[in-house]
Structure 1
Amino acid sequence: MASKQLINAVNGYENYIQRKGVDEQVIDAFLKACNVAIRTEKDIDYGLTITERTKALINEFTQKNAGGSIWELERYAQNHDIKGGYKLVDQFYEVLRLESFYRFESFIYFMERKRNWSKRFYYPRRKTLNIVAQDLEDLENRKIKFYGLSMPSRVGKSTICIFFLAWVALRRPNSHSAMGGHSGILAKGFYKELMNLFTTEEYTFAELFAYWHPEYANASIPTDKSADEFTITLGDPDRFATVTCRGIDGTWTGAVDVSKDGYLYVDDLVRDREHSLSPTRMENTYQEYLNKMVDRKNDGARELMVGTLWNVLDPLERMRKQYEHDPQYRFRKIPALNENDESNFAYEINGFSTEYYRDMRDKLDNAEWMAKFMQQPYVREGLLYTDLRLFNGILPDGDFRRIGVVDVAWGGGDSLSMPIGAEYENGDVYIYDWVFNKGTKEVTIPLVVGRIIGNEIRQTRFEGNTGGDLYCQYVDEKLQEQDYKCSCTSRKAPNKVEKLSKIIAYSGDIKRKFIFLDTHRPTQEQMKKDSDLGVTRYYRNDEYQAAMDELSMFVSIGGNEHDDAADGLTQLEMFIENPNNTAKVEAAVNPFRRY
């Protein structure tokens, strides 16, 4: 526990700041207090509190006096080859060094101190990878015992995890951890990257190791290694190495140990697309993972599994389905495009732009796009809605009627689904709009009412189950309040088994008759040109895209997490075939109404 003398001193520094503001003298004082708290008095919690405060003070002082952040000041010094840099930058890194044993992000920052900012791994990617760094720190602090991470390829997921294993080795050089992948070639890559972190002058691992383990100050780093066995030992030589890298096709029994304070790190067990398309190979891979890799864990060992999800048979996806509700297991998915259809990985350096990912989406089969880039694994066998008809957003000339039905949802994970189409005399139905929203009725009712009026729909139907008839009544009342004439009816839907049968039965008609918006989003120039020409061009908004994503993953065999998109289209086709098979909703006073 921090001494009263230290606490009083820090409080005095704060009083000084209140009177005179932040200056170099008080920053020096805070830095000394950080050293005393962590290195002398060993009060880590209090020490980390004042290290955070010290970093904030340095940034505040830098911003005020240099017009930028401490990182911008460091970048300026590097770009202008200012020998020795700046005192403030050195002080900031001194704080990071004090935190490096306890804060994973601080460890990475300090590890890359000698690297030019243009070559650094973490800083340009921190906006996206910060949440991953925090997850990994929670794993190390035993807030969770299993962490599953899925991201697209080449965005840094393996590198940050290798940094993590280096951090664990710094903290516990005599622990035993294992890194495994789909092949020995991959294991060799892990070994080389770890050795690069441990031994090259480009990184500061040797400095940190001597700082936190003075008893090894004169020892070589590593103390033992094998380029043939892919083993690295940092602490006292032992039968098992600090880190062993091994392909799943290699020898594990008797050669690999994961100690109770170590990690099993599994990265990319699925070799490639061909591997993922074979259910037999996928099952064999999963069984090998359990019987070769997991078998080497001692009681208390933790696990980190990383990969790009290929399909639902992927070991990581199987683990997620089995344990996603267990608070000791955490699964993090970061897709290529966020909810605004923008890149999550538009890094400052070596990133992937929104345009790059949208172009890949247009080129790839939707199932593969969703799996490899959006981390939504697929089952290729049994996909029901493949080879859908698409149009460019401009409705063809000719007479049509606007139609829409509502698959009701009240929130809680399910989506209200209201596909809206233009039905032509030849039977084609152009789905040009779609309400697809997980909100409560307070959110979705105004959306439904707005779409009915905006599209001049005069007849619509609601699924009558689970209060759907009441939802229909709410909408009908809102339409009457706005003096809009629309026949709102409800119809009871079949049970779950019958529902799947109906969806399958009508899927052929939907694929034959329904035409969906393509993935093209018009540019500002295109939208202006359309406006000048008086052309109305529809395009997929976020809700439409979410509906199509769900629809493309719907399978006729196995389970589906959600069927809202498919069910909404099925109800629309049934409504087209028989619009009068309904029950009329009469507006009445509802004593239970809360809307």
Structure 2
Amino acid sequence: MELCEIINKAIAVDTPRSLDNAFDLVRELETLNCVEVQGKGGRDRGTLIYDPDNFDKAHELNRKIRASANKMVRDGVDPENMLGLYYRTHLFDAPHFFDSFCIYIEKDRAPEKRFYLPRRKQLLPCVEALQDLEDGKIELLGISEPPGVGKTTLAEFFLAWTCGRNPFLPNLIGSHNNSFLGGMYGEMLRIFDPVGEYRWADVFPGLGVVGTNAKDMMIGIGYTKKDDMRFKTLEFSSIGSGNAGKVRAMNLLYCDDLVDGIETAMSRDRLDKLWQMYYTDLRQRKVGTRCRELIIATRWSLHDVLGRLEQEYEGDPTARFIRFPALDENDESNFDYPYGLGYTTEALHKQRDIMDEPSWRALFMNEPIEREGTLFDPSELRRYFALPDKDPDAIIAICDTKEQGSDYCVCPVFYQYGNDFYLDGIICDNGKVEIVQERVAQILVDRKVKVCRIESNRGGTMFAQIVEKRVREMGGMTSIQTKWTQTNKDTRIQINSALVKERILFKDESLYSQNKEYRDAMAQLTSYSMMGKNKHDDVPDVLALFVDWQMSDKVNIATLIKRPF
């Protein structure tokens, strides 16, 4: 009978003793047919080359044992021994799998003091991406998350893990100042401490700190003092401090928040200088072909380091860029952790209310805003608290249908009073076309819109026909017009920007703080920049189309008046 079959049968018996036996056999399976390569002495202590099929099967079966042991703990079946087995399965995986490493090294910490498990659900996509980085599936990883959700601590855990796996390959960590790096230096020593609260030494037995340099912030990892090197396992250095000949990166270059604040983020010259320093002071310290790169940053600008790398590596499968906004598509917190950690939805809403829009979107939503060249500054927009106390001259709408992927269908509804147009309702939706069509028809009927123009590019005519049919079925009286647009989008937006600011009135910010759709539309408008690539420009475009329509056609509205005689 094959070993795998024996293990599966032991797991199926599902008793504490059978699971213990299965785990012993899994450990045997991992090393079955492996090859031991003898070391040459010194730091080269040799290595094991696993049979890939046996290795994969052993760890797959190990996860099944862990699930069974965890269930027994919850059910109260020999809980003490089964909890021990649960952690032994994580220890077995920990040298190879980052998720198990993070869980195991905190096993002795009180649940409320643990970093990883309370945050695991939200951080797991980052953990999986870091696993791919270590495994060589990608060479560059960029991560953007709100402040205070644990991204830097997770990176410290990753450093501890990759140092244990590759203790004799230097890692370079760079940031905007030494104070930040000094804190990280101290935290890494805490993780490595064999008598501290972390169980790192269990995962990498025999390894430990063999040399430190507090002044230059360097930590050497090895088996004996003889393993200490000139270029140590961990080297911390702030950007611009002159790193030539002082540090090198052979395993990992990790950069954390290279932008020191909003002053740098708002200056294109400073961002250009920062990019040059990153390339000459940090990236050129990479040595060899193995060195990978991790960048964690607030997305301040399209021209910050992470933004430029994202553009440079667009479409490259060896690079991955992931963003985790503070609020999800339902305006709920993505980071509401147990034990009062992270951010509640209410706390994030309050934070949003007191921050200016560009800073909120950069810091918490990971959407870089180009303040330089911003065409629709919030302070330049006309605002209103309530519609005039009389009937409008007309109620008009325009609809720019979505064309592809993440494009938005935008349909603002305007109440016309003389030459002023009050934007009082809006559809701003990048969902399924069928749902958006129904929503557009509904707002036209609910708002008693008299005329709606629908841009007919790329399927717009069919969209208009469906919307018109639904409006009639709902009893609405909106006249649907179609128009083919030929002008360049950016040119159209920029030419009509003055008229948008002159003729359109927007709700006061206090009136739409709880209206996600109106708020998202305003964010698109106020973040539009002439200086760079705009992620979403559908809202400024539809407003430009609207004022162009009004100024060129001069829509005439018939009104009732008293007979003069």
TM-score by length of 1: 0.83
1:433 matched residue in structure 2: 425
The number of aligned residues is 527
Deviations 1:103-161 (A, max 9, x none): 10110111111211111111111121111111101111111110000112222111101
2:3 matched residue in structure 1: 6
Which of residues 108, 114, 124 in structure 2 aligns to 1:114?
A: 108
3-state SS of 2:403 partner: coil
Letter in 2 for 1:196: R
Instruction: Say whether residues 1:561 and 2:555 are aligned partners.
Output: no
CA contact (8 A) 1:169 1:234 kept: yes
Q: CA deviation at 1:507?
A: 2.5
2:37 matched residue in structure 1: none
Distance 1:10-1:391 versus aligned 2 partners, 3 A rule: farther
1:195 matched residue in structure 2: 189
Instruction: Say whether residues 1:505 and 2:495 are aligned partners.
Output: yes
1:532 matched residue in structure 2: none
Instruction: Say whether residues 1:316 and 2:314 are aligned partners.
Output: no
Q: CA deviation at 1:566?
A: 0.5
Which of residues 206, 217, 230 in structure 2 aligns to 1:239?
A: 230
CA contact (8 A) 1:181 1:248 kept: yes
Which of residues 44, 49, 54 in structure 1 aligns to 2:60?
A: 49
Which of residues 411, 415, 429 in structure 2 aligns to 1:422?
A: 415
1:367 matched residue in structure 2: 358
Q: CA deviation at 1:464?
A: 3.0
CA contact (8 A) 2:370 2:531 kept: no
Separation (CA, whole Å) in 2 of partners of 1:284 and 1:168: 31
Separation (CA, whole Å) in 1 of partners of 2:317 and 2:292: 14
2:487 matched residue in structure 1: 495
CA contact (8 A) 1:432 1:539 kept: no
Letter in 2 for 1:151: E
2:24 matched residue in structure 1: 32
CA contact (8 A) 2:397 2:452 kept: yes
1:293 matched residue in structure 2: 282
Q: CA deviation at 1:426?
A: 4.9
Letter in 1 for 2:277: E
CA contact (8 A) 2:414 2:425 kept: yes
2:562 matched residue in structure 1: none
Letter in 2 for 1:144: I
Which of residues 293, 315, 321 in structure 2 aligns to 1:303?
A: 293
1:269 matched residue in structure 2: 258
Which of residues 259, 276, 280 in structure 1 aligns to 2:269?
A: 280
Separation (CA, whole Å) in 2 of partners of 1:133 and 1:7: 29
Q: CA deviation at 1:248?
A: 1.0
3-state SS of 1:299 partner: coil
Q: CA deviation at 1:94?
A: 0.7
Separation (CA, whole Å) in 2 of partners of 1:59 and 1:519: 50
Q: CA deviation at 1:300?
A: 2.5
2:126 matched residue in structure 1: 132
Distance 1:396-1:31 versus aligned 2 partners, 3 A rule: farther
Which of residues 397, 403, 420 in structure 1 aligns to 2:396?
A: 403
Instruction: Say whether residues 1:169 and 2:163 are aligned partners.
Output: yes
Q: CA deviation at 1:247?
A: 0.9
Separation (CA, whole Å) in 1 of partners of 2:446 and 2:22: 62
2:559 matched residue in structure 1: none
Q: In terms of mean alpha carbon deviation, does 223-232 or 557-566 score higher?
A: 557-566
Deviations 1:430-462 (A, max 9, x none): 323221222453332222222212222121111
Separation (CA, whole Å) in 2 of partners of 1:99 and 1:440: 42
Distance 1:484-1:275 versus aligned 2 partners, 3 A rule: closer
Deviations 1:226-282 (A, max 9, x none): 1112111112223311111111122321121222xx000011111111222222221
2:210 matched residue in structure 1: 223
CA contact (8 A) 1:183 1:249 kept: no
Letter in 2 for 1:228: K
3-state SS of 2:260 partner: coil
Separation (CA, whole Å) in 2 of partners of 1:142 and 1:433: 49
Which of residues 246, 256, 260 in structure 1 aligns to 2:247?
A: 256
CA contact (8 A) 1:180 1:247 kept: yes
3-state SS of 2:338 partner: coil
Separation (CA, whole Å) in 2 of partners of 1:188 and 1:478: 64
Separation (CA, whole Å) in 2 of partners of 1:353 and 1:338: 12
3-state SS of 2:453 partner: strand
CA contact (8 A) 1:179 1:243 kept: yes
Q: In terms of mean alpha carbon deviation, does 135-144 or 481-490 score higher?
A: 481-490
1:83 matched residue in structure 2: none
CA contact (8 A) 1:410 1:440 kept: no
Separation (CA, whole Å) in 2 of partners of 1:300 and 1:94: 31
CA contact (8 A) 2:442 2:471 kept: no
3-state SS of 2:173 partner: strand
Separation (CA, whole Å) in 2 of partners of 1:24 and 1:572: 71
Deviations 1:305-338 (A, max 9, x none): 1111212221011111221321111101111211
Distance 1:108-1:440 versus aligned 2 partners, 3 A rule: closer
Instruction: Say whether residues 1:97 and 2:94 are aligned partners.
Output: no
Q: CA deviation at 1:561?
A: 3.2
Deviations 1:342-374 (A, max 9, x none): 222222243122222212211111111111111
Instruction: Say whether residues 1:442 and 2:426 are aligned partners.
Output: no
Q: Which runs of 5+ in 2 are unaligned?
A: 34-49, 557-565
Give runs of aligned pairs for residues 547-558 of structure 1, distance below 5 A: 547-558=521-532
Distance 1:406-1:9 versus aligned 2 partners, 3 A rule: same
3-state SS of 1:270 partner: coil
Separation (CA, whole Å) in 2 of partners of 1:195 and 1:100: 19
Give runs of aligned pairs for residues 52-91 of structure 1, distance below 5 A: 52-65=63-76, 86-91=80-85
Q: In terms of mean alpha carbon deviation, does 472-481 or 183-192 score higher?
A: 472-481
1:525 matched residue in structure 2: none
2:39 matched residue in structure 1: none
Separation (CA, whole Å) in 1 of partners of 2:106 and 2:388: 58
CA contact (8 A) 2:445 2:477 kept: no
Q: In terms of mean alpha carbon deviation, does 487-496 or 49-58 score higher?
A: 487-496
How many percent identity over aligned positions? 30
Deviations 1:278-305 (A, max 9, x none): 2222111111111121111122311001
